[in-house]
Structure 1
Amino acid sequence: MTYASLPRSLKTFPARKSRILLACAAVLALAAMPALAQDKAVQLKLSSWVPAQHPLNPALQAWADDIKKASNGSITATLFPSEQLGKAFDHYDMARDGIADFAYVNPGYQPGRFPVMAGASLPFLFANGKSGSAAIDAWYRQYAAREMKDVKFCFAFVHDPGTFHSRKKITVPTDIKGMKVRPATSTVGQMITALGGTNVQASAPESRDMLERGVADAITFPWGSIGLFGIDKVTTFHMDSPLYVTPFVWVMNQGKYNAMSPAQKKVIDDHCTTEWAEKVASPWADFEFGGRAKIAAQPGHEVYKLTAEQTEAWKKAVAPGEAQWADSVKKAGQDPKAVMDSLKANLVKYKAAL
């Protein structure tokens, strides 16, 4: 039988089969395309209470830009610095209530509310802010869902170690007696009280005014931010010792996360990691570290190191603070020894232990 004598249906079969196969391939190709291409657009409000020129803000913007890229443009964000959406003290509740979709939170601004996290601000633990941020994030992930259950935890980080900046020279713990000090965290505040000082509560943006008006005599603050917030204009003595770090968290409104598609949720999850914690914190850590030399170069400022005996006196004086912290952790239903052992193990693992 020749091709010419074949029935028409058989002659056209290969062509029809080819068209069918092509159609099937097109359907499969569409199905294989990232789901993000069909996702509804999501606009995120990111709230940061530090000034626009603070090095944390460009790092958060870079984080948001990477999310936009990874989501094929379906997730975009606008960063609101300088307390535009609300006061620094309110940022955790702003994320909880949806005033912000992501918020930069200092847990120490609300004493007693986050007892586990408060352990990270105990004195003489952290050597630096870069790997220290990886360490605190890796540590806190096991506690965040319980302690910060109102929000979706993204990551935790710290600044480079801070210290005392004051109107009079502070070298030994007894110098604190009778002083009014703005503490960075509630844990540092407990230390001030134990040493006979008085705590003066103020957020970072409010601190210069408190010192300028004499409401506070000293502040605990990281080095670079002393100049950024103008505190170098009202303090002249600076203790050169890695006294403490302030732990921070970057948290998300849970409802906003829940409303996202599975693919979009994965993008967010991929950007809420220990690696991103260190990446976002690193420019700030460099900025704070570099502030020490800038302050030392200013006329009229004294940057001084502690002797070995003075350092030991400080460590002995602040030791009761850990017991006080442990009591608060017990009341929250956690084992303080296990919590602290885990933190110290992570500091060693990430080479951030003092």
Structure 2
Amino acid sequence: MRKTLLALALAAGVTTPALAQDKTFDLKISHWVPASHPLQKALEDWAASVEKASGGTIKGKVFPAQQLGKAFDHYDMARDGIADVTYVNPGYQPGRFPIIGAGELPFLISDAKGGSEGLDAWYRKYAEKEMKDVKYCLAFVHTPSSFHTRTKKVVVPEDVKGMKIRPADATIANFVTLLGGTNVQSSAPEVRDIIERGVADGVTFPAGSLVLFGVDKVTKYHMDAPFYVTTFVFVMNKDKYNQMSAMQKKAIDDNCNTEAAGRVGEPWGKFEDAGVDKIKAEQGQEVYKLTPEQTASWKKASEPLFKTWADGVKKTGVDADAAMTELKASLAKYNALAQ
């Protein structure tokens, strides 16, 4: 029957890749930042591209702001089918995804677009092992970011001692502990509240998101340095993907690649970069850069994090040294390896 329909379609000059008998899918796409965040448009654009590639047989609706579930649960939501495609911060669950944690290491990634492409190209073979219970789509990063604090300026590593910091990810959490600080865990939408109430003294955040979430209203000191990035992934429910036809799977796969990772990372990077000037324009804010000597002290202090990452990766059976060499080579290829 399918061959007959295909022959009729070709004879009639029909060029759309979809055939009438392909099942239609309405994907629930979930994330946990506000609809005003650039990620909303990135996911809408991703869904539109998939719809076009599938000849209209795959449509997607984006659910922002934790409508379908908490930020920390988004990986499991995709695994369990609560949502079909989700936006995940692997660092929200320390120890669960040790390999991709390499992207969180300080002073490693210098650029959002190239960093997203370099990280994604490197991680693809490891995703099959580390995220095997979902359909891995792509990985990306935001622009390099750093500390924002309320009452105490953080200039050198020793300044973190005694402070309560909301870390961006598991690696930064380890760093805060290493430096004698205390971690305060919360999702991004909760950061303003915990700083305003004094539960935390500061946060590691990109500048644009700081303004978006209103955290600039409760912080004063802002380090302007390419200190760290946070890694993110889009993942898909594996059962939903496996129900699709070969043509439909190709429509997904063509939008789950390294080029697509760059398309997601680049506009977000520009959004975050623009936040620095917005903060500078506000009264009572101090935005400061690090001297070469101060930067060197941070790099020296962060060296144990590389060993911690390597030890975690070795437990998975992966050669950590080889993996790090591969990651640096991939970042260099996409002009995003920090100097």
Tell me the SS of whatever aligns to 2:19: helix
The separation in 2 between residues aligned to 1:107 and 1:325, in whole angstroms, is: 14
Q: Is 1:179 aligned to residue 166 of structure 2?
A: no
Give the alignment partner of residue 145 of structure 2, picking from 158, 162, 171.
Answer: 162
Q: For 1:183-262, list aligned pairs within 5 A.
A: 183-262=167-246
Q: Is 1:296 aligned to residue 283 of structure 2?
A: no
TM-score scaled by length of structure 1: 0.91
Given that 1:49 and 1:87 are in contact with CA atoms closer than 8 Å, whether structure 2 keeps it comes out as: yes
Identity of aligned residues (%): 60
Quote the residue 1:72 is aligned against.
55
Question: How far apart are residue 59 of structure 1 and its match?
Answer: 1.3
Given that 2:146 and 2:223 are in contact with CA atoms closer than 8 Å, whether structure 1 keeps it comes out as: yes
Task: Output the amino acid matched with 1:296.
Answer: K
Larger radius of gyration: 1
**Cα-Cα RMSD:** 1.5
The separation in 2 between residues aligned to 1:27 and 1:182, in whole angstroms, is: 58
Tell me the SS of whatever aligns to 1:292: helix
Quote the residue 2:41 is aligned against.
58
Gaps of 5+ in 1: 1-24
Deviation sequence 1:145-170 (CA, Å, 0-9, x none): 10001100000000001100001100
Quote the residue 2:83 is aligned against.
100
Given that 2:17 and 2:55 are in contact with CA atoms closer than 8 Å, whether structure 1 keeps it comes out as: no
Question: How far apart are residue 55 of structure 1 and its match?
Answer: 0.7
Task: Output the amino acid matched with 2:70.
Answer: K
Task: Output the amino acid matched with 1:139.
Answer: W
The separation in 1 between residues aligned to 2:14 and 2:59, in whole angstroms, is: 24
Deviation sequence 1:52-83 (CA, Å, 0-9, x none): 10011111101111111111111101000000
Structure with bigger helix share is 1
Task: Output the amino acid matched with 1:101.
Answer: D
Given that 1:56 and 1:281 are in contact with CA atoms closer than 8 Å, whether structure 2 keeps it comes out as: no
Quote the residue 2:94 is aligned against.
111
Deviant stretches of 4+, over 3 Å: 25-28, 30-35
Given that 2:17 and 2:54 are in contact with CA atoms closer than 8 Å, whether structure 1 keeps it comes out as: no
Q: For 1:312-331, list aligned pairs within 5 A.
A: 312-331=296-315
Deviation sequence 1:317-343 (CA, Å, 0-9, x none): 011111111111111111110111111
Would you say how many aligned residue pairs link Structure 1 and Structure 2? 331
Q: Is 1:37 aligned to residue 15 of structure 2?
A: no
The separation in 2 between residues aligned to 1:188 and 1:27, in whole angstroms, is: 56
The separation in 2 between residues aligned to 1:201 and 1:164, in whole angstroms, is: 15
Quick one: structure 1 residues 76 and 26, their matched pair in 2 at CA, closer, same or farther if it must change by over 3 Å? closer
Quick one: structure 1 residues 260 and 240, their matched pair in 2 at CA, closer, same or farther if it must change by over 3 Å? same
